[in-house]
Amino acid sequence: MAAKRDYYEVLGVSKTSSPDEIKNQYRKLALKFHPDRNQSADAAEHFKEISEAYGVLSDSEKKQTYDQYGHDGVDGKYSSDDIFGRGGGGGGFNDIFESIFGRGGGGFTQQQRGSDILYQTTVTLDDVLHGKKMEINLQKQIKCDNCHGSGCKPGTNKKTCTSCNGQGEVRQTRNMGFASFVTAAPCPTCRGQGSMIETPCNNCKGQGRVKGTKKVDFEIPPGIDTGDYIVSNEGNEIPDGINGDLVIRVKIQSHSDFKRDGKDIFYDQDVSMIDAALGCELMVPTLHGEEKIKVDSGSQPNTIIKLKGKGVSHINSRGTGDQYVRIVVNVPKKLNKHQKNLLNEFKDTTD
């Protein structure tokens, strides 16, 4: 008989993983190897292995015993009934299974979800600084006004499905050797709805929704970056279900003067070679208004001057960034005779 694998290895977690991390990892693996979803020959064995590992690691007492003594401590102290909870004991396998897959263990839900809608927009750096309120007329699936989303012709009602008695699901008891539980699947007669429409609405043809336009308000938050942002429940609507989401795809418009890197802003300031040599004071633009900077005498090309707090915020971090002003020393391409003579005199004094 092959030796049991380490429970942490089975689930792909560590001893320091939180209960939520352990549960989430079990959820992923259970969905992958559940025999109703995975028809491979070894799916049932894998499912049994990960469920046993979760049954131990999700219980603080069993986990402590396993951490101290390994499989010997668990196998010697707990029976399979203790781990899998046969007989409906609190915290047993059936409770674990139902908490992840839902009532009956099949993970089926009658509630449908509308599809998401993608909306693309471009915002400026000023919008990044202050945020922006937007209002759009969105073409989407909306609830039918004629039947109020029921799908039935006004004055008529849905009929309870006789195949599932209105449950929307059919159940089957499965015995996998280590635990018995009930799996559920959508009723094929009513397609999981629990009821059927005998006389459809003429406007929506029984769908309960039609194409329409809805005014949607949302706000681009300060510190936004290029990427996708979600406005919940503003996607396509679905009667007696969950609306889809509105996915706002944001692009930051390039600026003629400023460049952005996260929270920081970069700006190039032209300075004559005379001002760079002698030093000067200048007013430079920022997203917050003009700021005075001092260019020290003898400043070299690419000298950086930092303006603290004159950058932008970022929605994924705290505080405000800075603006960095890079000194660009301009050397004249053409000089008149007098200018050349002056520079030659200056050159002679530095030799």
- All residues at 6 or more sequence positions from 323 whose CB lies less than 8 Å from its CB, including other chains: 264, 265, 266, 267, 286, 287, 291, 306, 307, 310, 311
* pTM confidence score: 0.57
Q: Is the pLDDT of residue 259 over 90?
A: yes
Q: Is the pLDDT of residue 173 over 90?
A: no
pLDDT given at position 111: 62
Helix axes 60-69, 43-57, angle to 10 degrees: 100
Q: Do residues 296 and 278 touch, judged by C-beta distance below 8 A?
A: no
- Among 108, 109, 113, 111, which residue's Cα sits nearest to residue 233? 113
pLDDT given at position 2: 62
295-331 per-position pLDDT tens digit: 999 999 999 999 999 999 988 778 899 999 999 999 9
pLDDT given at position 176: 57
pLDDT given at position 82: 58
Confidence label for 174 from pLDDT (cuts 50, 70 and 90): low
pLDDT given at position 89: 36
Average pLDDT rounded to a whole number, residues 128-154: 93
pLDDT given at position 179: 54
Q: Is the pLDDT of residue 42 over 90?
A: no
182 or 333, which is more confident: 333
pLDDT given at position 36: 66
pLDDT given at position 109: 42
Mean pLDDT of the chain: 84
Q: Is the pLDDT of residue 178 over 60?
A: no
Report the alpha-carbon distance of residue 253 to residue 266 in Å, rounded. 15
Sole residue written with tokens 């089926």? 108
pLDDT given at position 311: 95
Q: Which two tokens stand for residue 135?
A: 């209002």
**Burial tier of 41 (Cβ tally within 10 Å: 0-12, 13-18, 19+):** exposed
Report the percentage of the chain scoring pLDDT > 90: 47
Q: Is the pLDDT of residue 146 over 70?
A: yes
